């Protein structure tokens, strides 16, 4: 951003406004109401302290916005998200231009949204208009890289965030052995390894889900598309229905495979019904939590059983 702006020009007016409003230092209610310390509401009264003085330690990104501005409603949340991720390496100062016309005049705002980066008490970069998050992220990164050696607070915040990150837990050798077997295509060895974990830890959900996946992968590798045709010709053949469902799921027809087994549950009873139900429930385990197809199939299975 070319040209220097004297940001101290508002200092006297800000101090007078702060005294007359009896505001405490640091931004009054606007700053106190923020959910994150790196996101602050700034007015003419606290501009000097919250923007100019803060910018001596870390960059302050000034978001100039207005309540009637539609693009502001997309830009501001994106900036807030990045400020939270920044862990204090920079600060987002949100300024309503209608409520703070002197600040708008200072930055020569002609349209909003407008974003100005302030460092060392002076504007150093900026842009007008809404920007997509990837572009904002790149801009912030470039800003921090350019100022890291000049502003001590950037590196201090980054080092503090790194120190606060939990150390990675060491890998469980039992899982490592199972995963190695799986990579080598040895499904039997992988299944045995996961089963061994469950024998000693029956409630290990990670091993339980992995075991279901290995079993299905072994079956899916042998899946035959013609199994569907054979099953359709023999609706009472339980083995045929299970093989056909495996083939359908393996070839991406997930809902068809689920429906096949649910219909088979409806037609069967006793051990046959329990066998089909168990096969279907195990199949559910190979999908991530929240998969809508699984949620729907679970409801339909419950209806079929009860």
Q: Which distant-in-sequence residues (6+ apart) come within 8 Å of 196 by Cβ?
A: 174
d(CA 34, CA 76): 14
Burial class (CB in 10 A: 0-12, 13-18, 19+), 183: exposed
Please state the φ and ψ torsions of residue 185, each to the nearest 5 degrees.
75, 15
d(CA 127, CA 1): 8
3-state secondary structure at position 238 = helix
Give CA 60 to chain center in angstroms. Answer: 25
Residues that are catalytic = 69, 72
Burial class (CB in 10 A: 0-12, 13-18, 19+), 230: middle
Q: Which of 191, 22, 19, 52 is nearest to 119 (CA)?
A: 52
252 backbone φψ class: left, alpha, beta (φ>0; ψ -120 to 50) = left
Are the C-beta atoms of residues 117 and 143 closer than 8 Å to each other?
yes
Are the C-beta atoms of residues 43 and 27 closer than 8 Å to each other?
yes
Give CA 178 to chain center in angstroms. Answer: 29
Pairing of strands 122-128, 114-119: antiparallel
Encoding tokens for residue 157?
């915040």
């Amino acid at each position: 951003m070319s040209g220097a702006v004297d940001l101290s020009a508002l200092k006297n007016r800000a101090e007078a406004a702060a005294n007359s409003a009896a505001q405490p230092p640091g931004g009054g209610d606007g700053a106190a109401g923020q959910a994150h310390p790196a996101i602050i509401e700034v007015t003419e009264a606290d501009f000097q302290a919250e923007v100019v003085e803060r910018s001596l330690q870390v960059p302050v990104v000034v978001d100039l916005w207005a309540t009637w501005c539609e693009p502001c409603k997309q830009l501001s949340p994106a900036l807030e998200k990045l400020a939270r991720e920044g862990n204090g390496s920079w600060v987002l100062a949100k300024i309503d231009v209608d409520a703070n016309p002197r600040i708008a005049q200072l930055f020569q705002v002609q349209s909003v949204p407008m974003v100005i980066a302030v460092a060392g008490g002076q504007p150093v970069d900026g842009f007008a208009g809404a920007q997509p998050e990837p572009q904002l992220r790149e801009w912030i990164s470039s800003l921090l890289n350019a100022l890291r050696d000049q502003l001590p607070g950037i590196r201090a915040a980054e080092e503090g965030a790194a120190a606060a990150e939990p150390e990675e837990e060491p890998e469980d050798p039992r899982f490592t052995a199972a995963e190695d077997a799986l990579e080598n295509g040895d499904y039997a060895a992988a299944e045995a390894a996961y089963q061994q974990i469950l024998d000693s830890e029956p409630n290990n959900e990670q091993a339980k889900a992995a075991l279901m996946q290995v079993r299905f992968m072994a079956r899916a590798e042998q899946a035959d598309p013609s199994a569907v045709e054979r099953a359709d010709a023999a609706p009472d053949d339980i083995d045929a229905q299970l093989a056909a469902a495996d083939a359908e799921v393996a070839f991406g027809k997930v809902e068809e495979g689920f429906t096949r087994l649910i219909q088979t549950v409806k037609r069967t009873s006793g051990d046959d019904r329990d066998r089909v139900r168990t096969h279907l429930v195990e199949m559910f385990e190979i999908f991530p939590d929240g998969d809508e197809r699984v949620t729907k199939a679970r409801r339909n299975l419950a209806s079929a059983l009860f």
